[in-house]
Amino acid sequence: MSIAENIADLRARMEAAARAAGRDPREILLCAATKMNDADRVREAVAAKVDCCGENRVQELVQKKVLGAYEGKPLHFIGHLQTNKVNKVVGQVDLIQSVDRTELLEAVNKAALRMGLRQEILLEINIGEEPQKGGFTPAEALEIAAKAGEYPGIFLRGLMAIPPISEKKGDNCKYFAKMRNLYIDIASKKYDNVSMVCLSMGMSDDFEDAIAEGSTMIRVGTAIFGPRHYT
Ligand SMILES: *Cc1c(COP(=O)(O)O)cnc(C)c1O
What does the mean pLDDT of the chain come to? 97
**Segment 173-228, tens digit of pLDDT:** 999 999 999 999 999 998 999 999 999 999 999 999 999 999 999 999 999 999 98
Rg, C-alpha atoms of the chain = 17
88 DSSP 8-state letter: G
Count of C-beta atoms within a 10 Å radius of residue 209: 24
Cα–Cα dist 171/213, whole Å: 12
At 224 the pLDDT is: 98
At 231 the pLDDT is: 61
Cα–Cα dist 94/48, whole Å: 20
**Segment 25-42, tens digit of pLDDT:** 999 999 999 999 999 999
Long-range contacts of 203-209 (CB under 8 A, 24+ apart): 203/33, 203/162, 205/166, 206/163, 206/166, 206/169, 206/172, 207/13, 207/14, 207/17, 208/13, 208/17, 209/169, 209/170, 209/172, 209/173, 209/176
pLDDT value at 167 more than 90: no
Q: Distance between alpha carbon 148 and the CA centroid of its chain, in Å?
A: 19
- Percent with pLDDT over 70 in the chain: 99
Assign domain 3-222 to its CATH superfamily: Alanine racemase (3.20.20.10)
Query: Which protein residue's CA is at the shortest distance from atom 7 of ligand 1?
Result: 204
pTM exceeds cut of 0.95: yes
pLDDT grade for 229, boundaries at 50, 70 and 90: confident
Q: What number does the ligand 1 atom closest to the CA of 204 have?
A: 9
**Segment 81-109, tens digit of pLDDT:** 999 999 999 999 999 999 999 999 999 99
Q: What number does the ligand 1 atom closest to the CA of 79 have?
A: 13
CB within 8 Å of 12: residues ≥ 6 apart: none
Give the residues surrounding ligand 1 with Cβ less than 6 Å away: 33, 35, 56, 78-79, 162, 203-205, 219-223
SS3 126: coil
Q: What number does the ligand 1 atom closest to the CA of 98 have?
A: 13
